[in-house]
């Protein structure tokens, strides 16, 4: 039987790494609360400050069980660097390691299998400019076609090329992916992508003619967003509130 072990490594890591662990663990708990999880599958990874190492969930734990201490530290090959009782899903880390390898700006990556992102990614034409939420993804959105389970190392280069410098990706038949310079930014980008996909599905199911947002507005949305956020990113603005929410849900994530 898989046993959940309780321990703390707070005094064994730097303050910067501990804060990243707390943010990442909170993100897992929030994803679970949003019902974006997939049992023990899918992954969210975050870079350890000042290194080329990354944190990811232990394979076998639900997102509700992830804590700052039981996150696993790995290198780009998925080798475990911690003294930990847990392992990781090496196949699941293929996508994350491929992106971390070529995107140093990607301090956090969310890759999830939500119903809405799988559905919209899998229809021809993908995401449409049908809601305000879609505008936050469309100017920086890419696609990567399904190649089966992510266990083939040769897929890494194709994924990297498809992603390019975008921050949002839809994977047909598979799910969605966002990345950001902080955990908060990656989380908020996925929130916007998920909402855009949910609204698109609702409009498709309505059978009514949809009013599309003009291309000129799509292109100008980033400038408008910078005014709303007063020079800060969406993650910087929203993440403190999301952390408070995570503490209210269950403060054990920061253990």
List the alpha helices (DSSP H) in 34-154.
93-102, 115-121, 132-135
Domain of 85, in residue numbers: 10-254
In a domain, 213, yes or no: yes
Q: Work out the average pLDDT over 3-26.
A: 90
Question: Residues 84-141: pLDDT tens digits?
Answer: 888 888 767 788 889 999 999 999 999 999 999 999 999 999 999 999 999 989 989 9
In a domain, 158, yes or no: yes
CATH number, domain of 193, equals 3.40.225.10
Q: In what order do the strands lie in the sheet with 168-171?
A: 72-74, 54-56, 43-47, 108-112, 175-180, 168-171, 141-143
In a domain, 34, yes or no: yes
What CA–CA distance (Å, rounded) separates 23 from 26? 5
Identify whether the C-beta of residue 239 lies closer than 8 Å to the C-beta of residue 183. yes
Task: Give the per-residue pLDDT at 156.
Answer: 86
In a domain, 64, yes or no: yes
Q: Residue holding tokens 């952390």? A: 243
Q: Residue holding tokens 């190392």? A: 153
What CA–CA distance (Å, rounded) separates 244 from 44? 20
Chain centre distance of CA 57: 12
In a domain, 66, yes or no: yes
Structurally, how many domains does the chain consist of?
Answer: 1
Question: Residues 198-242: pLDDT tens digits?
Answer: 999 999 999 999 999 988 888 777 666 555 544 566 778 889 999
């Amino acid at each position: 039987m898989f046993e959940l072990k309780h321990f703390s490594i707070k005094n064994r890591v730097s303050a910067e790494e501990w804060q990243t662990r707390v943010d990442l663990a909170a993100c897992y708990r929030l994803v679970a609360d949003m019902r974006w999880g997939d049992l023990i599958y899918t992954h969210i990874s975050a870079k350890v400050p000042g290194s080329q190492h990354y944190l990811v969930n232990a394979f076998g734990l639900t997102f509700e069980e992830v804590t700052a201490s039981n996150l696993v530290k790995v290198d780009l090959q998925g080798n475990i660097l911690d003294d930990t009782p847990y392992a990781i899903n090496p196949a699941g880390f293929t996508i994350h390691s491929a992106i971390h390898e070529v995107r140093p700006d990607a301090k956090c990556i969310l890759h999830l299998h939500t119903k809405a992102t799988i559905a919209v990614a899998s229809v021809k034409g993908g995401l449409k400019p049908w809601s305000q939420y879609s505008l936050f993804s469309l100017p920086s959105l890419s696609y990567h076609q399904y190649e089966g389970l992510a266990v083939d190392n040769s897929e890494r280069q194709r994924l990297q090329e498809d992603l390019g410098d975008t921050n949002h990706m839809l994977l047909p038949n598979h799910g969605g992916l966002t990345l950001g310079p902080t955990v908060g930014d990656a989380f908020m980008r996925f929130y916007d992508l998920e909402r855009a996909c949910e609204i698109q599905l609702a409009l498709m199911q309505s059978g009514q003619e949809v009013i599309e947002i003009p291309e000129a507005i799509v292109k100008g949305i980033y400038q408008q967003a910078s005014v709303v956020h007063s020079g800060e990113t969406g993650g910087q603005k929203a993440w403190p509130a999301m952390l408070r929410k995570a503490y209210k849900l269950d403060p054990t994530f920061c253990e």
